[in-house]
Chain A
Amino acid sequence: MAEGLRRRGPRPTGEAVAQLPAGTAGSFLVPYIVMLIVEGMPLLYLELAVGQRMRQGSIGAWRTISPYLSGVGVASVVVSFFLSMYYNVINAWAFWYLFHSFQDPLPWSVCPVNGNRTGYDEECEKATSTQYFWYRKTLNISPSIQENGAVQWEPALCLILAWLLVYLCILRGTESTGKVVYFTASLPYCVLLIYLIRGLTLHGATNGLAYMFTPKMEQLANPKAWINAATQIFFSLGLGFGSLIAFASYNEPSNDCQKHAIIVSLLNSSTSIFASVVTFSIYGFKATFNYESCLNKVILLLTNSFDLEDGFLTASNLEQVKGYLASAYPSKYNEVFPQIKNCSLESELDTAVQGTGLAFIVYTEAIKNMEVSQLWSVLYFFMLLMLGIGSMLGNTAAILTPLTDSKAISSYLPKEAISGLVCFINCAIGMVFTTEAGNYWFDIFNDYAATLSLLLIVLVETVAVCYLYGLRRFESDLRAMTGRKLNWYWKAMWAGVSPLLIVSLFVFYLSDYIMTGTLRYQAWDASQGQLVTKDYPPYALAIIGLLVASSTMCIPLVALGTFITRRLKRGDTAPRA
């Protein structure tokens, strides 16, 4: 059972692969490493130590520290439930792309022709073919979140398949999950290695790598970069989900969890950096390819308009010739000028794509330009699927463990039925994400379901261990258990730096929300072929509030409930002698 939960640690999630370059591209390394040392490692060690000391799952462990804190465990379960609801949709999309990779040519590399076959489809012309395939063929996205549309049967089928696969893996309980997770965690490393070799040999990969490793000072000053790095560390280490505590509770008491914590976090971060090297080399290839085709289009346009000799215009003399043409044929140049695009490699590298769009748009665009693109496409989406299924197994295990452990439910139903029921409920709710507006709801869940709640849970955990249970008491417990003295670094981090950091992250989120006044989202405009920013309608804002509140309110509500029941009990029973 321990192995099944162990994998929560070093886990290059699909999000890790997908979110790295978004918005913080060139400067992500520095905040990432700083956040790992200051936040990731201490908090990981704390959770492992708590689990090993209390020897119970997350709800029981916090109840042991203080009876008013079992809400922390409940909040973790609620967050895991939300996560499993929306996360499997990513696997459904990965299945969709995987099934479509067995065609020649790849369906996202060519635009479909329009009605009278004189040109390409209009929406596809304005956007690129990969964007068209994603927004129109995969999602069939509606222009705004209000227009719900119907359930699309193709993604719905893929979602059902994804949930069947998850059910198959968790059917037998965590022993079988453990074996599957070994497979799903090791295979992506192999694929990443193959991609590393392919990526580094691509033309233009060095541009991407140079972009990744040069820190940009103005981006480092932006707190958004640090926030993203912190959230990234939280998610990829699996802090606050309760599974680390459950894992550690199966360890021997004398186990050296400090060593484990350091190894796991270093392994995790090196995997992330490894994945980001691959990502950036492919990113650089795509940017260079787009830059060169943009240049070629400009050259062609000028050659055609001015009837120049073939091969006269090249990338190197383009600027000079443009100047010459502007001076020699000013009127004609002014006609042509609006169509001439300013091609820049920097702007291609800077195009930040948000969230899941990165995995599905940018990568597919890069893959379609490689040779034997079907093979690379199959490999890539297979890897994405492995990562996604691995994450799903961890999530569903976090939900199922308290359900199967509670005697009330497990006496009525066998564990196969409980797992089946959980999968069925999640699948039914997940159908919302396959409607035409489904991607907007997915973004809501992706941005708000887990981030704030996780921060709060980890903050409460740290404060509870340091101040409620007592740092000295915990330290002496650890020394009695493992025989090792607690380093001053961990004490300083747990008592001071990490809680302060989390509080400042909270403050930033709140101030960001208050300053912008309302929350916005990116909607796809089919007529323009690009994303536009829109405001959320009130009912969407209400659902966001509900999402955040339902997991964070668990902690005070359960504390209140425990207080009241204790009061009643104390009132009923006679005082003990």
Chain B
Amino acid sequence: MQRHKRFLYQRYPNVEEVGMPSAHRISHVLLCNVTQRVSFWFVVTDPSKNHTLPAVEIQSAIRMNRNRINNAFFLNDQTLEFLRIPSTLAPPTDPPVPIWIIIFGVIFCIVIVATMLLILSGIQQHRRKNEGPSEMEDTEDKCENTITIENGIPCDPLDMKGGHINDAFMTEDERLTPL
């Protein structure tokens, strides 16, 4: 659960990095409007306590040191909010090649290889089948001259259709009486 908490601002940003003199101390940060909500307004005065520093400079100082401020309180951008200073979102990590293409490529190659293997083995089986009957045909040619007769019926007509159609039974059209 993420809640916005505006925390009591006790430490002072290291303004040396912003190029300001390091004579600033906690006493130069003045708080007001502290509420139960743990939120408050603050201004920073310069060491001589003559005037307050402009908001723009403070905002840029906070922008640069946001990480350090957050870490000091073990908070992050979702739990410590500075009004009117929008946080910069972390850029998404983009790998050079999208991950999904890698996985796609792997599976694609596997499927293609398997398909090729199956097709090739199917072609081989086809060739073997074609060689087989041609050997059978050679032996049949030698027997062609003799017609075997059994019971007075020549054997040939019974073989010709290869057992697909049995002439002893009616054809399909006559199975049903016409309407």
Contact = CB atoms under 8 A, between A and B. Distances in A.
A103 B93 CA distance: 11
Interface residues of A, number: 36
Interface in A144-160: 157-158
B37 A304 contact: yes
B41 to A, nearest CB: 12
A171 B117 CA distance: 11
A113 B126 CA distance: 58
Contacts of B91: 113, 117
A302 to B, nearest CB: 11
B119 A416 contact: yes
A164 interface: yes
Nearest to B108: A161
Contacts of B154: none
A117 B88 contact: yes
Contacts of B92: 110, 112-113
B89 A416 contact: no
Interface of B: 1, 3-5, 35-39, 86, 88-89, 91-92, 99-101, 103-104, 107-108, 111-112, 114-115, 118-119, 122, 126, 175-176, 178-179
Given A99-B104, A117-B88, A300 B37 contact: no
State the main secondary structure of chain A at its contact with B.
helix
Contact of A303 (B37, B101, B108, B114): B37
Contact of A310 (B5, B86, B118, B175): B5
B100 A99 contact: yes
Contact of A158 (B4, B86, B99, B104): B104
Contacts of A64: 175-176
A356 interface: no
B100 A171 contact: no
Contacts of B115: 164, 167-168, 171
A307 B35 contact: yes
Given A117-B89, A310-B38, A172 B100 contact: no
B35 A164 contact: no
A161 B107 contact: yes
Contacts of A95: 104
A183 interface: no
A167 B108 CA distance: 13
Contacts of B111: 161, 164-165, 168
**Which of B92, B100, B101 has the most A CB atoms < 10 Å from its CB?**
B100
Interface string A26-68: 0000000000000000000000000000000000000010110
A118 interface: yes
